[in-house]
Amino acid sequence: MEAARFRGELGARVYASRLLGRDTSLVLHGGGNTSVKIGDILHVKGSGSDLAVVDEGAFAPLHLECVKRVLARERLDNVEMMRLLDACLARRPAPKPSIETLLHAALPFRYVEHTHADTVLAVVNTEDGERIAADLYGELAPLVPYHHSGVELASACRAVLSARGTQRTIGLVLRFHGIVAFGDSARASYENMIRLVTIAEDYLKAKGAWELNSAAQPLPRIDRMALAALRAAASRAAGFPLVMRTERDPLCIAFTRRDDLRTVSQQGPATPQHAVFTKRLPQVGRDVDAFERGYRDYLRRTLGSAADARLDSAPRIVLDAVFGLCALGVNAEYAHIAAECYRHDIEIIVRASAHDVYRAAPERAIAQAELEYGGFERALRERVSRDQPLLGQVALIAPAAHRVQPELPQQLLAQGAAVSVIGGPQETGGIARPAFCMVPDNIEAALDQTVAACGGLDRLYAEPVDEPWVNAVAPLLALSPVAGGIMRSAHQRQTFAQNRP
């Protein structure tokens, strides 16, 4: 039995955390956090750790009384809070404590779990969400109005629990954020989380709002040149090359073809945490210039000049009735994360709209989250500029070039590129997706798959016998945001103009 491998109170915390982390409808990409209080030590999941694979070393041990003194401060921004929490660590080295550490300290229960459960958000992220939450959960899980993560949220949770909590209370619903459950054992706390989520699921089913009704729809062949032009425009707006992933499954296509798309998609994400990867709003259609103007206006009216050097104005999500869902990121991994976050937003928006009117957090609250946690892409580029000069670029390796240099895919991946290798089945050779894929040796299919996976093409690695590929990729290279070119095995770059058919 798996649970038997985890011993002691911290072991039980690890096991229950992994159970939560395996369910992507509860947590995504470092989201969600859990804790246990053992004696005078608060063990809280480290910031950014994946709940699905945490071990005991992923929990930051903090002196509980020290954390409570931090919580007692009336005014404290999150930068100063994290500095003070660092001084509360009971040992070093240790993971960086979660941004929600004060929330875990504020709740007087041994075990606490916090998730961004999709099902709960689909119930309460609505125009009448406050009443629905009160009717559905009552004293079992009182509703906490939206507050920014950190001191504000922790203080609000403690106040609501004190004013409205009873012996029946097993959790708190966090408006536009998620849910908290607690208990005096790992099992009780975990089961309380599942109970609260199940209540929301049963409500949606009773309202006829559970099924997503995403039947397959006919799709035209994707226009790879139009996709590449979209990626190029977004990269220009960002100021650096972006990888763009395209999702055309029935759920995404059905959402992009909703009659009310320009209303429901422009409310904001299900939780401000998603905006870190997706931005507050998706672009609807292909006009990047219009999105750029609108996003700059939004930043100015919510943040003034505070975001000028931190946040670019390029979209991270594009919704198009033909393309489907296009997700952009500084590399293939972050494009994948943006796509996954917005797919969850789609499910939440569709279900919320089926039983009420979908609503998101106020735009100023979302802007604050973007400012505090966003901007990581620019920081990443600065940090790896020397070691990963190809970050955000897309490389295609032609058959002969791969035979001459079989190590080339790994070299390009190490330099930050997304890589497609021509000629072979859909095998990755042990290299992790989403930055790497094998594409067929049929020219049209290979280029279509590469552009759907990455948004365009910046480099073709080819030998003289690969000339058909050189001719075929020339139009795509002309759209590269980084002056694309043909690369020979001797690593001598030849310009696009020299290789134009």
Give the pLDDT of residue 431: 54
Share of the chain above pLDDT 70, in %: 94
Do the Cβ atoms of 319 and 284 come closer than 8 Å? Answer: yes
Between 21-35, 176-190, 450-464, the lowest mean confidence (pLDDT) is in 21-35
Within this chain, do residues 346 and 426 fall inside the same structural domain, yes or no?
no
Q: Is the pTM above the cut of 0.85?
A: yes
pLDDT in tens, 402-418: 999 999 999 999 999 99
Looking at 349, 383, 417, the residue that finishes a domain is 383
Identify the helix (H) or strand (E) that includes residue 42: strand 41-45
pLDDT value at 385 more than 90: no
**Is 72 within the bounds of a domain?**
yes
pLDDT in tens, 174-222: 999 999 999 999 999 999 999 999 999 999 999 999 999 777 777 888 8
Within this chain, do residues 370 and 427 fall inside the same structural domain, yes or no?
no
Within this chain, do residues 160 and 232 fall inside the same structural domain, yes or no?
no
Neighbours of 490 (CB within 10 A): 6
**Is 405 within the bounds of a domain?**
yes
Within this chain, do residues 7 and 137 fall inside the same structural domain, yes or no?
yes
Do the Cβ atoms of 398 and 425 come closer than 8 Å? Answer: no
**Is 304 within the bounds of a domain?**
yes
Within this chain, do residues 61 and 9 fall inside the same structural domain, yes or no?
yes
Cα 42 from Cα 33, distance rounded (Å): 13
Cα 332 from Cα 456, distance rounded (Å): 12
Map tokens 């690369």 to a residue: 487
* Boundaries of domain holding 128: 2-206
**Is 27 within the bounds of a domain?**
yes
Helix (H, G, I), strand (E, B) or coil at 245: strand
Phi/psi region, residue 138 (left: phi>0; alpha: psi -120 to 50; beta: rest), is left
DSSP 349-383: HHHHHHHS-B----HHHHHHHHHHH--HHHHHHHH
Give the pLDDT of residue 497: 37
Within this chain, do residues 238 and 370 fall inside the same structural domain, yes or no?
yes
Cα 285 from Cα 224, distance rounded (Å): 16
Give the residue ranges of DSSP H helices in 61-113: 64-71, 78-86, 101-106
pLDDT value at 389 more than 60: yes
Within this chain, do residues 169 and 255 fall inside the same structural domain, yes or no?
no
Number of structural domains found in the chain: 3
pLDDT value at 465 more than 90: no
Do the Cβ atoms of 356 and 125 come closer than 8 Å? Answer: no
pLDDT in tens, 349-371: 999 999 999 999 999 999 999 99
Map tokens 């897309």 to a residue: 394
Looking at 383, 410, 429, the residue that finishes a domain is 383
| Among candidate residues 132, 138, 113, the one with its CA nearest the CA of residue 359 | 132
Neighbours of 195 (CB within 10 A): 14
Phi/psi region, residue 296 (left: phi>0; alpha: psi -120 to 50; beta: rest), is alpha
What is the Cα Rg of the chain in Å?
A: 24
Within this chain, do residues 178 and 298 fall inside the same structural domain, yes or no?
no
pLDDT in tens, 71-90: 998 788 888 999 999 999 99
**CATH assignment at residue 232:** 3.40.225
Q: What phi, psi does 179 have (nearest 5°)? A: -150, 150
**Is 288 within the bounds of a domain?**
yes
Report residue 273 CA to chain centroid gap. Answer: 8
**CATH assignment at residue 172:** 3.40.225.10
Cα 322 from Cα 479, distance rounded (Å): 20
Name the percent of the chain in helix, strand, coil, to the closest 5: 45, 15, 35
**Is 213 within the bounds of a domain?**
no
**Mean pLDDT across the stretch 129-133?**
97
**Is 479 within the bounds of a domain?**
yes
Looking at 383, 410, 444, the residue that finishes a domain is 383
Give the pLDDT of residue 220: 84
Within this chain, do residues 248 and 196 fall inside the same structural domain, yes or no?
no
pLDDT in tens, 422-451: 975 444 454 556 889 889 889 999 999 999
Within this chain, do residues 472 and 325 fall inside the same structural domain, yes or no?
no
- Token pair recorded at residue 461: 């690695």
Average pLDDT, the chain: 91
Neighbours of 261 (CB within 10 A): 17
Phi/psi region, residue 481 (left: phi>0; alpha: psi -120 to 50; beta: rest), is alpha
Within this chain, do residues 197 and 111 fall inside the same structural domain, yes or no?
yes
Cα 217 from Cα 250, distance rounded (Å): 6
Helix (H, G, I), strand (E, B) or coil at 418: strand
pLDDT value at 481 more than 70: yes
Cα 7 from Cα 13, distance rounded (Å): 9
Do the Cβ atoms of 63 and 94 come closer than 8 Å? Answer: no
**What single letter denotes the amino acid at residue 147?**
H
Query: What strands, in cross-sheet order, belong to the sheet with 143-144?
Result: 59-63, 41-45, 33-38, 111-115, 178-183, 171-174, 143-144
Torsion angle (degrees, nearest 10) of CA 369, 325, 472, 427: 90
Helix (H, G, I), strand (E, B) or coil at 427: coil
Give the pLDDT of residue 492: 43
pLDDT value at 10 more than 70: yes
Within this chain, do residues 277 and 247 fall inside the same structural domain, yes or no?
yes
Pairing type for strands 283-284 and 317-320 reads parallel
Phi/psi region, residue 88 (left: phi>0; alpha: psi -120 to 50; beta: rest), is alpha
The residues facing 328 across adjacent strands are 244
**Is 216 within the bounds of a domain?**
no
Cα 415 from Cα 47, distance rounded (Å): 26
